[in-house]
Amino acid sequence: MVKKYIYTPGPTNVRENVRKARSEEVTNPDIDEEFYEFYKDTCEKVGELLGTKNDTFILSGEGILGLEAACASLTEPGDRVLVIDNGVFGEGFKDFVKIYGGQPIMYSSNRREQIDVEDLRRFLEKDHDFKYATVVHCDTPSGMLNNISLICPLLKEFGIITVVDSVAAMIGEPLKVDDWKVDIALGGSQKAFSAETGLTIVTISQDAYEVMKSRAVPIIGFYCNLTIWENYYKNKWFPYTMSASDIKGFRRAVDNIMEEGLDNVHKRHREIAYAVRRSIQEYGFTLYAHNGYSSTVTVIEPPKGLSADKILDHIRDKYNVILAGSFDYLSGKVIRIGHMGENANIDRIVFVLHILDMAMRDLGYRTNIKLAEEFKRVFSS
Ligand SMILES: *Cc1c(COP(=O)(O)O)cnc(C)c1O
């Protein structure tokens, strides 16, 4: 197989030391007490990165598990749940709410713009009888970053606990779980953590625990029940056998982040994202969003007359580079450049922009601007 270069907004590039850590010998995680120490220590490190003293767990299952588990654990039949929607994942929460018998109430807004916090406040002043609210930090299909630092405290003012899907933002963007009053924060290993796909990260506040424990109707299901984790360490009992190799790799990725320093990681993402946005517009693409640009992914519309899918196919077939299209209402309309985790590095971005430039020229696009050069110019200025 010819080597492929991936620049998707998750899964992203995985560093060699993470791949190697996954190949190390492992123990029986159910029985070997050392593994409980290793697991707990890894969870605490993640909690530190997320600015929280809340319980932090690593679940075996891709990020969607976290979304479903949060809704399964909080929703009782008939509950009104506020679904804050300005993108595909935002809207998608309504399906999980419905599966567990809840009644999703949509707060939908312009998908090219961040959630307007003042407008949300006006909405809540009229209606705030919700069991909990869901909101997406970075809605990946459109690259839309929402202002969690304002949205969650606002909902708390109205006594509403929050579930935040930060799968595509966590680590690439600041997330201060305790300061921002996030009750359940969700992440995934394959996004800005830059580990392999397969793990969900979840933090649970006391308020969220209280809601889960004061239910009249028991939580439906076992794998998605978040209360089964609470005393795993004290009891030396995992609800199911942990994927020890996945966690070993993930732990290495966490250590990589800590060694670099979280502030440096954020700065790297921010600077790369800024230079990508500036240079790509100069080159002739249009940014999909009007504001709320995530530092983990840039979503662009091609210049007039060129099809996003044609560009993506050509880049893949001729150069073995995999960029992402999008889905749902954005299908065929945009190109997404993932610059999260290991991909938020100048070498890797210069490479992909150079390839994109060559592909555009192959397809007949004419410009005097050299995209990779333009990126380097903005990046160093
Ligand atoms: C990647 C991602 C998930 C996990 O979903 P998959 O479609 O399985 O990759 C959940 N939420 C967001 C915002 C994501 O970007």
For ligand 1, mutation pick of 96, 139, 140, 186 (most atoms within 8 Å of CB): 140
Q: Which atom of ligand 1 is nearest to the CA of 136?
A: 13
**From 6, 64, 327, mutation site for ligand 1 pocket: most ligand atoms within 8 A of C-beta:** 64
Candidate of 8, 89, 138 to mutate for ligand 1, largest count of ligand atoms within 8 Å of Cβ: 89
Ligand 1 atom closest to 138 (CA): 13
**Ligand 1 pocket list (CB less than 6 A):** 10, 62-64, 89, 136, 139-140, 165, 167-168, 188
pLDDT (0 to 100) of residue 197: 98
pLDDT tens digits, one per residue of 277-299: 999 999 999 999 999 999 999 99
pLDDT-based confidence at residue 2 (cuts at 50, 70, 90): confident
The rounded Å distance from CA 376 to ligand 1 centre is: 30
Q: Please tell me the distance from the alpha carbon of residue 236 to that of residue 242, in angstroms, as a whole number.
A: 12
Q: Do 194 and 341 touch, CB atoms closer than 8 A?
A: yes
Q: Separation of 275 CA from ligand 1 center, angstroms?
A: 25
Residue 59 to residues 62, 236, 283, Cα–Cα distance (Å): 8, 16, 42
Cis, bond preceding 302 (omega within 30 deg of 0): no
| CB-based contact 181:327 (threshold 8 Å) | no
Q: Which atom of ligand 1 is nearest to the CA of 137?
A: 13
Is pLDDT of 339 > 90? yes
Orientation of helix 346-362 relative to helix 262-283, angle to 10°:
20
Q: Would you say the pTM of this structure is higher than 0.75?
A: yes
Instruction: For residue range 69-109, list pLDDT tens digits in order.
Output: 999 999 999 999 999 999 999 999 999 999 999 999 999 99
Q: What is the pLDDT of residues 219-271, one digit of tens each?
A: 999 999 999 999 999 999 999 999 999 999 999 999 999 999 999 999 999 99
**Residue located nearest, by CA, to atom 7 of ligand 1:** 64
Instruction: Please give the distance, rounded to the nearest whole angstrom, from the Cα atom of residue 187 to the centre of ligand 1.
Output: 9
Kind of pairing between the strands at 199-204 and 55-60: antiparallel
What is the per-residue pLDDT across 287-336, written as a single tens digit (0 to 9) for each? Answer: 999 999 999 999 999 999 999 999 999 999 999 999 999 999 999 999 99
